Structure formats: structure tokens, C-alpha cells
Amino acid sequence: MRINRRDFLKWSVAAVAALKLEMDMDKLNTVMAAETDPPVIWLLGSGCSGCSISTLNVTNPTTIEDVLQNKISMKYDSTLMAASGESAMQALENAANQYNGQFILVIEGAIPGGASKNNCIIGEQNGVPLTMYDAVLKYGPKAKYVVAAGTCASFGGVAAAAPNSTGCVTVKSLLSGKTANPVVNLAGCPVNATVMVQTLLDLILTGVPSLDSYSRPTKYFNRTVHSVCPRRETEEVSQPGKYGCYEEIGCKGPGNLSPCPSLKWNNKQGWCIQSNYPCIGCTSPAFPLNPVISVSSGD
Amino acid sequence: MSTIKLDPVTRLEGHLKVEVTLDANNAVASATVAGMLFRDFENMLLNRPPRDAAFLTQRICGVCPVPQAVASSKAVEKIKGFKPNLQGLMLRNLIQGANFLDSGITHFYHLSLLDYIQGPQMSPWTGGYTQDLRFNATDTQTLTNHYLSALQIRRKANEMAAIFSGKLPHAANIVPGGVTALPSATEITNFRNYLNDIQSFISSTYQSDVNMLASAYSDYYNVGTGYGNLLTFGVFDTNTSGSLLFPAGTVINGTVGAFSEANIKEYNKYSYYSSPSGQAPASGTTTASYGKSGAYTWLKSPRYNDTPFEAGPLARVWVSGDYRNGVSVMDRHMARYVEMSKLVSNMQTWLDQLTPGASGFTNIGDPVSGSASGLTEAPRGAIGHWLSVSSSKISKYQIITPTCWNASPMDDAGNPGPVEKALIGTQVADPAQPVELLRIVHSFDPCTGCSVHVMSPDGVEMSKFVVQPLGK
Ligand code: SF4
Ligand code: SF4
């Protein structure tokens, strides 16, 4: 018998729950993403594509070629898709209509609002320019789940840094009261790849995860960087570039919730403090502060 | 005359629109290329400590954040009269080099190849044009397999960089004064293992794939030729006295000439800005004016000696003497391969020059006042940051990114930008599937995140100046 991907996933979840096992991603490898499964639509607003690139770098729970071929059906992603121009914008519209109420909408970047809506136009539909602002309002209410990928989409981030002349707003504020489920904020500049991909799989498998007061999944945003930092017991140093704790030079680790010390970055090859620079607090609603951190100037 | 509009052009970073008119024979008579995102980066940098700019400007572009951090750090260091030690320069080279390798692989396989083959028959790879696909089923399958294996190689290039940079995108530790990593012997070995993997992919798979493309589409040595003017700011220090692996220079009619920063000006008659046109980057201003009459893009027009110049790998390898065949779609692909091949072997040499445990960072602090530029190269071409500091705060910041050179609109004299020029004259076989246009645009590897340009003049009321941002 051939089962489709969604049935397989449901079966996997049930089996895992029954057996109290960790999810075995290897098993998921055997199933192809069926065209009938709940797809992902990924829109880029006022951002740098860093969250897209970070997602391409995923290794845990699995790598991107596996994700795209076997785990999720990516219906619109301007970075990767073959179609261009009108056929791309039609693919977006068709996917949203065909999967109305079913799809996951991922939004990367903040959304220029107010008088500045035209500061971000994502393409033309039927000859009419579609602003990011209108696209989010158009497709957000049709989505089953809405995910804000990265700190710009979640909190404004660099896109909305003072003086924010482009009037950037967040996904959550724009879609307040308009979505089927709460917007999930995956903070990070960029979003950590594991947080991104595992959350998409969690949504498909089990639904909206438990969220903190900033709508971040508590699974990843439950501890400060500082509370599990391997440098907690080391001597405080007075400048970056020396091995030690950076508390006295403004490290944001003590106030910043993030999974960095455990998940690390890029297949665990590094993370900020491991490279001898303080945490700059990139998962925080306040990021980027002025100054970004209060390192002593040294002169 | 009929019109073709491609909005969005996908498979690039950002928001780009291309519109062409065709003559009676379906040749492109005129073309406009437009960046459709404005982020106002330069304003957000004002009144911040100069050291913050390396972090903020990286967020202009997630595809090539490293060159932004390097350009910014160099500008601060120049004001301080400081140059990082050899360890710092080599660490920067290795991180920036890894970013080049990642970007180059991504460009060829993931952003360009689907203009020549049909990828896996599932989304997001369906729905592309089927016009002029020349590879047989076996070769198509081979290239599709390499598309997928290249996803792993580009990821590994990011992992390799993160060994010394903490993370990518957005490196944690490239700052004025150098790079703060203290590489251990184990990390150096780890980096080398990655480098060897990537090097063998480049010398086997990538080399044969780019050659296959060039022979199947050899007519593309005559397509997208544009002006033929090339410009590079130079990149990759090979020692502490300023020698570069790819030196700065210009190319006009195939002849290499010297580069002088003083010859750069920016025009904005056709851009959504009402500020004065024709200024040097250090003294220009930017006032956003969406919908300005005649304007069609958020990108300005940087010009060198009032002439459009193309930036990118072809400019670098031409000036360095590593590749001098011609200027075209296929030459851009070949140049990128030639450059990556040279780069990856030089990265082995730079890695040998690291001293385990040694510091590549000096705590130089923020400058109190002064002005300087920081010039380097991103994978897609010349990048410059112009910084002014007063009372230890940024009083002006301006950026010209590679895509500003390439995807710029017409200048005030009416000269189309380099991509526009490259499109003009192109024969479109089937206007319903204008794949020729995509091949030309993609050969420049545009990145509109990178088309930021911003600034605000000293002593002028900030609220009047919107910096320009990006047009992705
Ligand atoms: S380096 Fe930062 S996060 Fe780590 S222990 Fe020190 S203050 Fe805490
Ligand atoms: S350590 Fe801090 S600044 Fe670095 S990625 Fe994690 S949260 Fe962001």
C-alpha cells in the first residue's frame, strides 16, 4: 500500500506518542512530499534573505534537500522557485486558493506600512503591483498557520530600527485578530535553521507549539543565553577577542532568551560567544539597541 | 512594439522587476530594470557608534553579509590609521572567501541552472520556462543531481566560515580591529577538511558542469554583452603591505586601467529620490520620493568617469589576468568558476599562515572624528562604504553595493545601466517564455538587498533625508 505523506506523518506522531519515543526522522525520509499535502508559501518583505539562507543551511532535524523533496511542499519561494514573473505570482495565488485554510504562510522581513507601503512591492498580479503589506493582508487570513521568520518579521528588527522611515510593522501587529491560529514568532537575526525547520514540521505534525508572551515557541525560547553559557564560570574580560565572560562589556546573554548555547549555528560549528564576541541580543524584541552593545571603547 | 514584464524576477536576493519592449523582429529595443524595495539603511546608522555599522550593514544582505562587515570595518580602521595584523587579515580572507564560495555555488546551481534545465518535477521547481532546453535526459538528470548535492556544498561553505566567524549569515566577530576568533589547531584542521571537500567539488563537479553549459550554450558568449566596461575595487589581502589577490582596476575595450575612487559619482534622475544628482558618494544626499515623475526604481546610478561599468567576478579575473575572453552571459559564468578555483587554492595558503591560538584582533576603539571609505568586493562585485564620524558617532554613512552598479537605471545622460544595456538587442524566440532575459539578468547575480544606498549629510535635518535603501 502506498500512503501519502500526511497520513504517514499522522501515523508517525501517533506511534511516537504511544511509544513515548523521540521522533525518528529517518523514517520520515522514506516518504515523498505529495502535492496534496499542506504546503508552505514563503514571502519576503523588508528583509535581507538571511532567514532564507539560514534555512538552506539546516542540518538538524534534517538537511534542506530532504526538507524540500520529502518533508514540505514549497509552493512559493522567490529565492528558489523555477517560475518567474506572472507565472510565479499565479503560483502564489493558485496555491493560496487551492489550499485555502490549509497552508503555512512564512513571512520573512518586516512589512513597510503607512505611507510607505510602496517601499516593498513583491510582484505584479494581473498587471497590478502587489505590496508586501497587501500581500500579507490578502494571504494571512487564508493560512492555517502564520510563521514570522526572524527578528524583522517578529519584532521589526533591523528593518524597523530608528528612525524607521519606512514605517515597518510586524506580522503579528498587521494580522492581529485576522488569523486562524496565533502567529508564531521565530526570533533570530537570522532565524536559527533548526528552530525554523523543526517548527514547520511541528506545525504539520502537531499544531501550534506552546508560545511565550512574545509568541516565541517556549521549546526554544525558555532560557537566557547566559543561564547555559559555557563561559559562566570563566573570568570576566574587558574586551572582545579574549577568552572569558563578556558581562562587563555589555553581553546581552543575561537578558536574552535564545537556544544558541545548545543548538549553536551552522551544524554546530560555532556561535557568537564561541567566536569571542558578546551576544548582541538578536532574538530580543529590542534588537538592535543603540549602541548594539556597550563595549567599552578602549580609547 | 510589444512589452514583456517580469515582476518578480525570482531566483535572486530581493525584489527585482524587468520590463522590455520588443521590436517587430522580437529583439529587445529598450529595457528597464527596477529594484522594488527601499529600506533606508543609512539613516538608521546615524548617531550610532562607528563599531555598530559592521553589525547593522551585514543585515543589508543575508547572501553576502561578510563583505559588508569587512567594508565597514575597513572604513573605521582607515580613520584610526590602523591595519589588522596578518592573522586578522587571513581570518578575514578565509571567512570572506568562504562566503564567496557559498555564494558562487548557490548562484550557479540554485539561481541560474533552472534557466537551462528542468529541475525535479515538484514545487518549487515546476512552472519554469520550457523554451530552449538543450540537454538530453541523461545530462539533465546529472545536473539535477548536482543541483541537490550543491545544496550540501553551499551549506558546508557556510559551516566552514562559522568555525572562525561564529555563524553565518551575519558573522558574529568581524569588527574594526580585525577578527576576534582565536583559532585552535583543531579548528584549523576542521576548516581544512571542509576546504578540501569544497575544493574537490569545484575542481570536478562544478568544472565539468560549467563546461557542459558553455558548450551546449556556446552562443551565449555573444548574448548579454552590454558595454564591456568592467570595474573592481580589489579584494583579499595577501600580506600586511596591501597586496591583493584580485587587484583594483578597470577594463575598457579589454584594456586594464587604474582605478581611482575620485571618479565615482551617483545619479538619480530615474530613481525615486528628489535629492541632487551627480554627487560623489561621500557628499551625496538621498531624499525618498516614490512616484517621482519619470523615475522607475529605488536604485541609483553609480557611474565611473560618468560611464556605466559592470562589477563582478568577470571584472576581478580580467583585471587580475586570470580570464580575458569576452563579456557575455557565458563569460560571466566561466569567470565565476575561474575565480572560485583560484580562490579555493589560495585559501589553503592563507590557512597555512594562521598561527594556532594567536589573536587577529586589536581593541582600537571608536574614532572620535574623521572620514574614510572602506572598499572591498562582494561575490557580485565592488562594494564601498563611506563613513563620517563626529563626536564618536556616525554623522554620515553611504553605501554603494555591487547591484547598484549592475542593475542601476539610466543615468542623467540617458545611458542605460549595465544589465539594461546587456538586455538591449537580445533576440527573444518566444515572448511568452522569455528565458533569454532571465539568463542575462541571472548572469549578473543581482541582489537587490544589496542595492542599498543611503546617506544623510552633516548638519542637515535628518528627517528630511531618507536614505536609500535597498532595492531588492
Ligand atoms: S559571556 Fe555573556 S552569556 Fe556567557 S556567561 Fe558571560 S555574560 Fe553570560
Ligand atoms: S548568541 Fe546572541 S547574538 Fe548570537 S545568535 Fe545567539 S541570540 Fe543572537
pLDDT tens digits, one per residue of A94-103: 999 999 999 9
Q: Within a domain: residue A143?
A: yes
Least confident of A203-207, A248-252, B40-44, B49-53: B40-44
Least confident of A12-26, B12-26, B136-150, B446-460: A12-26
Specify whether A152 is located in the same domain as A262.
no
Contacts of B123 in chain A (CB under 8 A): 35, 39, 73-75, 81, 91
Specify whether A197 is located in the same domain as A235.
no
Asked if B169 and A54 come within 8 Å (Cβ–Cβ), the reply is yes
Enter the ipTM.
0.94
Q: Within a domain: residue A26?
A: yes
Specify whether A111 is located in the same domain as A232.
no
Contacts of B368 in chain A (CB under 8 A): 299
Q: What's the pLDDT at A295? A: 62
The 10 Å Cβ neighbour count of residue A50 is: 30
Asked if A64 and B466 come within 8 Å (Cβ–Cβ), the reply is no
Q: Give percent above pLDDT 90 in chain A.
A: 83
> Rounded mean pLDDT of B242-250?
98
Specify whether A112 is located in the same domain as A181.
yes
B295's grid cell: 523615475
At A28, is the pLDDT very low, low, confident or very high (cuts 50, 70, 90)?
very low
Question: Residue A149's closest CA among A193, A212, A95, A182?
Answer: A193
φ, ψ for residue B115, nearest 5 deg: -80, -10
Specify whether A113 is located in the same domain as A28.
yes
Specify whether A47 is located in the same domain as A184.
yes
Domains of chain B, residue spans: 38-420
Question: Residue A227's closest CA among A279, A186, A188, A265?
Answer: A279
Binding residues of A for [3Fe-4S] cluster: 260, 279, 282
State the alpha helices, DSSP H only, in B310-423.
313-320, 329-352, 402-406, 418-423
Asked if B364 and A165 come within 8 Å (Cβ–Cβ), the reply is no
Which H helix or E strand runs over B28?
A: strand B28-35
Asked if A52 and B5 come within 8 Å (Cβ–Cβ), the reply is no
Q: What's the pLDDT at B238? A: 98
Asked if A82 and B170 come within 8 Å (Cβ–Cβ), the reply is no
Q: Within a domain: residue A4?
A: no
> Domain ends where: A191, A220, A249?
A220
Does residue B31 carry a pLDDT above 50?
A: yes
Q: What's the pLDDT at B285? A: 74
CA of B96 to the centre of ligand 1 (A): 27
Q: Within a domain: residue A2?
A: no
Specify whether A205 is located in the same domain as A254.
no
> Rounded mean pLDDT of B208-232?
98
Q: What's the pLDDT at B451? A: 56
Asked if B55 and A280 come within 8 Å (Cβ–Cβ), the reply is yes
Does residue A129 carry a pLDDT above 60?
A: yes
What is the distance in angstroms between the Cα of B438 and the nearest Cα belonging to chain A? 9
- State the Cα–Cα distance between residues B141 and A283, nearest whole angstrom: 41
At A26, is the pLDDT very low, low, confident or very high (cuts 50, 70, 90)?
very low
Contacts of B472 in chain A (CB under 8 A): 44, 49
Compare A182 and B286 and report the one with higher pLDDT: A182
- State the Cα–Cα distance between residues B204 and B208, nearest whole angstrom: 6
Q: If you measure CA to CA, which chain A residue comes closest to B34?
A: A121
Specify whether A287 is located in the same domain as A166.
no
Q: From the candidates B3, B44, B403, which should be mutated to test the interface with A, based on the most A CB atoms within 10 A?
A: B44
> Rounded mean pLDDT of B374-384?
97
Contacts of B39 in chain A (CB under 8 A): 46, 119, 159, 166
Asked if A271 and B469 come within 8 Å (Cβ–Cβ), the reply is no
Q: What's the pLDDT at B275? A: 87
The 10 Å Cβ neighbour count of residue B218 is: 10
Q: Quick one: which ligand is closest to A255's CA?
A: 1
Specify whether A177 is located in the same domain as A234.
no
Q: What's the pLDDT at B452? A: 56
Q: What's the pLDDT at B463? A: 31
Atom of ligand 2 nearest to the CA of B172: 4
B399 is in an annotated binding site: yes
Domain containing A201 equals 21-220
**What pLDDT digit, counting tens, does each position of B81-116 carry?**
999 999 999 999 999 999 999 999 999 999 999 999
State how many domains chain A has. Answer: 2
CATH number at residue A139: 3.40.50.700
Q: What's the pLDDT at B198? A: 98
CB of A271 shorter than 6 A to ligand 2? yes
Among A224, A225, A242, A275, which is best to mutate for testing ligand 1, by the most ligand atoms less than 8 A from CB? A225
- State the Cα–Cα distance between residues B159 and B195, nearest whole angstrom: 10
Asked if A69 and B120 come within 8 Å (Cβ–Cβ), the reply is yes
CB burial readout A67-90, b (16+ within 10 A) else e: bbbbbbbbbbbbbbbbbbbbbbbe
Which residues on neighbouring strands pair with residue A148, listed in sequence order?
Answer: A107, A185
**What pLDDT digit, counting tens, does each position of A59-72 carry?**
999 999 999 998 99
Q: Within a domain: residue A122?
A: yes
Q: What's the pLDDT at B454? A: 40
Does residue A299 carry a pLDDT above 90?
A: no
Specify whether A88 is located in the same domain as A103.
yes
At B469, is the pLDDT very low, low, confident or very high (cuts 50, 70, 90)?
very low
Question: Residue A62's closest CA among A207, A197, A192, A195?
Answer: A197
Does residue B161 carry a pLDDT above 50?
A: yes
B450 is in an annotated binding site: yes
- The DSSP call for residue A46 is B
Of B6, B161, B172, the CB nearest to A272: B172
Longest Cα pair distance anywhere in chain A, in angstroms? 72
> Domain ends where: A189, A220, A251?
A220
Among A227, A228, A231, which is best to mutate for testing ligand 1, by the most ligand atoms less than 8 A from CB? A231
Does residue A34 carry a pLDDT above 70?
A: no
B100 within 8 A of B65, measured Cβ to Cβ: no
Radius of gyration of chain B (CA): 21
What is the distance in angstroms between the Cα of A177 and the nearest Cα belonging to chain B? 27
CA of A254 to the centre of ligand 1 (A): 7
At B360, is the pLDDT very low, low, confident or very high (cuts 50, 70, 90)?
very high
Q: Within a domain: residue A12?
A: no
At B197, is the pLDDT very low, low, confident or very high (cuts 50, 70, 90)?
very high
B33 within 8 A of B419, measured Cβ to Cβ: yes
Q: What's the pLDDT at A222? A: 96
B379 within 8 A of B99, measured Cβ to Cβ: yes
- State the Cα–Cα distance between residues B244 and B213, nearest whole angstrom: 31
> Domain ends where: A220, A240, A267?
A220
Contacts of B462 in chain A (CB under 8 A): 163
Specify whether A208 is located in the same domain as A227.
no
CATH number at residue A254: 4.10.480.10
Mean pLDDT of chain B: 93
Q: Strands, E, within B247-390: which ranges? A: 249-252, 255-257, 264-267, 301-304, 310-311, 360-361, 370-378, 381-390
Does residue B66 carry a pLDDT above 90?
A: yes
- The DSSP call for residue B27 is B
CB of A231 shorter than 6 A to ligand 1? yes
**What pLDDT digit, counting tens, does each position of B399-413 carry?**
999 999 999 999 999
CATH 3.20.80.10 is held by the domain B38-420 = no
**What pLDDT digit, counting tens, does each position of A233-253 carry?**
999 999 999 999 999 999 999
Q: What's the pLDDT at B388? A: 96
Contacts of A54 in chain B (CB under 8 A): 62, 169
Q: What's the pLDDT at A36? A: 54
B114's grid cell: 533552472
Q: If you measure CA to CA, which chain A residue comes closest to B58?
A: A48
B404 is in an annotated binding site: no
At A294, is the pLDDT very low, low, confident or very high (cuts 50, 70, 90)?
confident
Least confident of A29-33, B40-44, B132-136, B374-378: A29-33
What is the distance in angstroms between the Cα of A206 and the nearest Cα belonging to chain B? 24
Of B38, B62, B125, the CB nearest to A49: B62
Which class for A294: exposed (0-12), middle (13-18), buried (19 or more C-beta within 10 A)? Answer: middle
Q: Quick one: which ligand is closest to A226's CA?
A: 1
Of B59, B128, B290, the CB nearest to A48: B59
Specify whether A229 is located in the same domain as A207.
no
CB of A31 shorter than 6 A to ligand 1? no
Atom of ligand 1 nearest to the CA of A254: 8
Asked if A240 and B173 come within 8 Å (Cβ–Cβ), the reply is yes
Supply the residues of A annotated as catalytic.
Answer: 48, 51, 152, 189, 226, 229, 245, 251, 260, 272, 279, 282
- Interface size A-B, in CB pairs within 8 Å, comes to 283
- The DSSP call for residue A236 is B
Q: What's the pLDDT at B455? A: 33
